[in-house]
Amino acid sequence: MSKNRELKEQAVAQIVEDIKAAQSITVVSYTGLTVAQVTDLRKQCREKGVQYSVLKNRLFKLGLEQTGIEGVDDLLNGPNAFVFSKEDPVSGPKIITEFIEKNKLQSLKVIGGVFEGKAADVKTMQQLAKMPTRDELLATLVGCLQSPISGLVAVLDQIAEQKEAA
């Protein structure tokens, strides 16, 4: 077996692992981004536990085939980056969408992706980007749980003060 083929097989094996570990994958066309913009985007992705990878479309397609995911082939044209959201399915789409809006970029575009093991169109990925992240949902839940408790404590304090005054 040639060394080049062996390297490609290793790359595909890594892609298969990344696909299996991802809760969502955002496919992004990144033509025209500057090195500084790509560096900033990668940094933001790392901070949120999201993997930003530029891969050969052919190798990514082989990885998809090995995981049984279909319907993404039409997205794999031109230079693409793949954003693997491993901890939270909305993190990747949210980071990309916010980055596009913040920097007013037209060269960076979400062109689709994979969600729940199936091909997802641009609209699905945009809807994911609008959803709150797991951390935001947990914070909201904690706030909801604390609200009745703090209200109860305030009522108990008032009752205690009334009894002391009487």
From 27, 30, 25, select the one nearest 106 (Cα to Cα). 30
Tokens for 156?
Answer: 């108990």
With contact defined as beta carbons under 8 Å apart, do 97 and 127 qualify?
no
Residues 161 and 88 in one domain: no
In which domain, by residue range, is 155 found? 133-166
pLDDT for 65-99, tens place per residue?
A: 999 988 888 888 888 999 999 988 889 999 999 99
Residues 95 and 165 in one domain: no
Residues 25 and 49 in one domain: yes
Residues 29 and 93 in one domain: yes
- Concatenated DSSP letters of 65-124: HHHT--S-GGG--SSEEEEEESS-TTHHHHHHHHHHHHHT-SS-EEEEEEETTEEE-HHH
Residues 13 and 61 in one domain: yes
Per the prediction, the chain carries an average pLDDT of 85
Residues 118 and 143 in one domain: no
Residues 43 and 53 in one domain: yes
Q: In total, how many domains does the chain have?
A: 2
Residues 28 and 44 in one domain: yes
pLDDT for 144-163, tens place per residue?
A: 666 666 666 666 677 777 76
Residues 110 and 155 in one domain: no
The pLDDT value recorded for residue 149 is 67
